Structure 1
Amino acid sequence: MAEASFLHIAMCPWLAMGHLTPFLHLSNKLANRGHTISFFIPKRTISKLQHLNLHPHLITFIPITVPHVHGLPHEAETTADVPPSSITHLTTAMDLTHNDIELLLKDLKPQIVLFDFQHWLPNIARNHGIKCIQYMIVNPATVAYFASPARLRQGTESDLKKPPSPDFPDASSIELRAHELRRSAAFRKLEFGSGVLFYDRLGTGSALSDAVAFKGCREIEGPYVDYLKSQYKKPVILSGPLLPEQPNTALDEKWESWLSKFKSGSVIYCALGTESPMEKNQVQELLLGLELTGFPFLAVIKPPMGYDSIEEVLPEGFKERTKERSVVHGEWVPQQLILGHSNVGCFITHCGAGSVTEALVNKCQLVLLPGPYGDHVINARILGRKLRVGVEVEKGQEDGFFSKESVCKAVKTVMDDENQVGRHVRENHSKIRNLLLAPHFESSCVDGFILRLHDML
């Protein structure tokens, strides 16, 4: 590609590690092809992501000062610094960076800016002749179901039980349970900073942007992309799946030593995200379910609200009974390295966007235990019903609670070589994995994304 065709792109992600990190992954893919990136990031968060910047000569971290607003802990910069109840205040603080962002864009003069929740950014960009793309890290199916223009005035449980319009693709794959409908309807009334509802913020950004983009590939996301294109009446483009780069570090000796005690493909790894802790009784049911499987397991679980450590909520006698084959851990672990270990055979996931990608490119079998957010639920339905690459843990229709027996059943289904459902799931997972890891597959996706960016200029 000639030097004249290199782009200068600004990245302006939402203030959460789960958004900053995939935006930086995309930046690495673009910088690897010679494009310049100006990456807007809270100033004290730079040190946490510096090691993931693989092209520091092309990716420049532009420090942003997140102002203090009433209700926000002092020096809070990302969702990791605040309780869930304060996230709306963090969003208000982000909106107050409006003038700083405008001055930076005016000075940096990028050709394109990518954003997600800053619904005011397209108007700023347009004023300075910059193309603006709303880039979403959730899959297109989630946005198509919950946030497409057809869904704009639909917000009741009854509305959400049905697809947004008759032409919605593969509607039978997405069936929401009563507890999911209640939560989704309540979420539509959620204020998300500056008195703006979450879905109004998302919808305004989509309406004002020059294009909408997603992490993903046509082979998996195609029908939902076509649906959104017809809904938005503007380009809807895909960046590729953003596969994680191969780690340049080895697994800590602590984890390597423990995992190496067990047979190949026998360990269950369970990780349910950091932002939404489960209730105490569900943590206990999960652990008892893991115990019931008879397999060794590593469970990475955030302590429930009101508890300082996961140790405080272990079921009675659990530690003694499972001490030879279990670790229950309440802090961060190097997930990608653990999933890649040959002795790990099953991954119980909350179906967050990053975990889903890591899961699909590894060989371990998938058990789906979706978290509370809409994208977790849609991911679980797509993986379990449409792609059939994992088995979802059964939950109560009304209360959304699962039992130790349902956890055990899902794990044994995917781990049993003789189980017909498990065999079918393993074959499908292998096909998707081979697709994503095929030589030049992701590279061609990224190249296509860049061509679409050029088309906009």
Structure 2
Amino acid sequence: MRLLPGFPSSSLQLHTYEARPIMEIMTRDYLHEMTFYDVLMASMRDCDAISFRTCSEVEGPYCDYLNTQHGKRVLLAGPSLPDPPTSKVEEKWEKWLGGFEKGSVVYCALGSEWVLKKEELQELVLGLDSTGLPFLAALKPPFGCETVEEALPEGFKERLEGRGVVHGGWVQQTFILGHPSVGCFITHCGGSSTWESLMNDCQVVVLPQIADQFFNAKLLSRDLKVAVEVERREEDGWYTKKDVCKAVNLVMEVNSKIGNEVRANHSRWKDVLLSPALESSYLDSFVQKLFDITKNPRHPYTTT
């Protein structure tokens, strides 16, 4: 997918397997014979302002671009980071995670909505197994399966012997990411997970599945350089267990060049996002700008 002239970065250029489903969504009939793209552009044209949950430190150039393209105020509400956990993770996970060394566990979660195909789930968990590291994978049962257990390769659960867990239910992600033994987070790059990955110390591997997740993944891996993306086949996005294993090893190997680079960048960005008053300053400004709009809705405004 080609980027429009003046777009602030070439790093968000999409692969074929990423662009295709986005184009399908954009060109699909959505409302009164209008496509989703038509509705989106009409909204941009007729609105008084565009608002995002982000901050200029992370996505400022892209927000400035939207301001220039659409001539609208772009209001930023800040990253809205979750508060640090004040209690412990659920007892069964605390006991399991507590049995491993600091920073050694790989935690994998692809969100509460996305469902993998059975073959995709198998490649993913086999890749996790191939790393030789302990892992916790929180994944929904794949299509055609009642439980996640029935989708696992034959003998897989028995072979792990407690070193790895594939869980089909909900987990306390914020608590797990903050646990000392968790050293790597494989994420689909949903909105909340993207911010949570930045505010924790884990190494980050990205495996986006659809739409905005592709852009979030590129923001982390290419712009901020705090993550490594799982390599995938260009035409359909297929990945193998070797691809998963390779990405995890790249960030988890001791003293590796890539691992050290993303760790250092991650630390810097965490300091930026957790700096005192960042959240409150954005929220105060956001509320003030909304108040200003009610008084003068068509007054031109810059990104803030």
CA 1:194 to 1:248, structure 2 compared with 1: closer, same or farther past 3 Å? farther
1:375 is aligned to 2:212: yes
Residue 388 of structure 1, CA deviation: 0.5
1:232 maps to which of 45, 70, 85? 70
CA deviation vs aligned residue, 1:43-90 (integer Å, no higher than 9, x gap): xxxxxxxxxxxxxxxxxxxxxxxxxxxxxxxxxxxxxxxxxxxxxxxx
Residue 194 of structure 1, CA deviation: 6.0
Q: How many Å separate the matches in 1 of 2:288 and 2:148?
A: 48
Q: How many Å separate the matches in 2 of 1:187 and 1:353?
A: 19
Give the corresponding residue for 1:295. Answer: 133
1:422 is aligned to 2:259: yes
Residue 195 of structure 1, CA deviation: 5.3
CA 1:247 to 1:198, structure 2 compared with 1: closer, same or farther past 3 Å? farther
Give the corresponding residue for 1:162. Answer: 2
Residue 250 of structure 1, CA deviation: 2.8
Aligned length: 294
Residue 444 of structure 1, CA deviation: 1.4
- The equivalences for 1:17-56 within 5 A come to none
Residue 192 of structure 1, CA deviation: 3.9
Give the corresponding residue for 1:442. Answer: 279
* TM-score normalised per structure 2: 0.93
2:241 maps to which of 404, 407, 418? 404
Give the unaligned 5+ runs of structure 1.
1-160
1:279 is aligned to 2:117: yes
Q: How many Å separate the matches in 2 of 1:399 and 1:347?
A: 24
Q: How many Å separate the matches in 2 of 1:431 and 1:191?
A: 44
Range moving further from structure 2, 440-449 or 254-263: 440-449
Q: How many Å separate the matches in 2 of 1:277 and 1:202?
A: 26
Please tell me whether Structure 1 or Structure 2 has the larger radius of gyration of its CA atoms: 1
User: In the alignment, residue 140 of structure 2 is paired with which amino acid?
Assistant: K
Give the corresponding residue for 2:28. Answer: 190
Q: How many Å separate the matches in 1 of 2:96 and 2:29?
A: 45
Residue 287 of structure 1, CA deviation: 0.4
CA deviation vs aligned residue, 1:184-242 (integer Å, no higher than 9, x gap): 22122224466543233333222222111101111111111111011111211100011
Q: How many Å separate the matches in 1 of 2:34 and 2:112?
A: 25
3-state SS of 1:236 partner: strand
Give the corresponding residue for 1:57. Answer: none
| Percent identity for Structure 1 against Structure 2 | 49
3-state SS of 1:180 partner: helix
CA deviation vs aligned residue, 1:111-164 (integer Å, no higher than 9, x gap): xxxxxxxxxxxxxxxxxxxxxxxxxxxxxxxxxxxxxxxxxxxxxxxxxx111x
User: In the alignment, residue 286 of structure 2 is paired with which amino acid?
Assistant: F
Residue 423 of structure 1, CA deviation: 0.6
Q: How many Å separate the matches in 1 of 2:31 and 2:197?
A: 33
Q: How many Å separate the matches in 1 of 2:101 and 2:153?
A: 26
3-state SS of 1:347 partner: strand
- The equivalences for 1:299-378 within 5 A come to 299-371=137-209, 373-378=210-215
2:84 maps to which of 246, 255, 260? 246
Q: How many Å separate the matches in 1 of 2:58 and 2:141?
A: 35
Residue 248 of structure 1, CA deviation: 4.5
CA deviation vs aligned residue, 1:250-288 (integer Å, no higher than 9, x gap): 311111111101001101000001222111111000000
1:221 maps to which of 59, 74, 85? 59
Q: How many Å separate the matches in 1 of 2:136 and 2:74?
A: 39
Q: How many Å separate the matches in 2 of 1:234 and 1:284?
A: 46
3-state SS of 2:137 partner: strand
User: In the alignment, residue 385 of structure 1 is paired with which amino acid?
Assistant: R
Q: How many Å separate the matches in 2 of 1:374 and 1:317?
A: 35
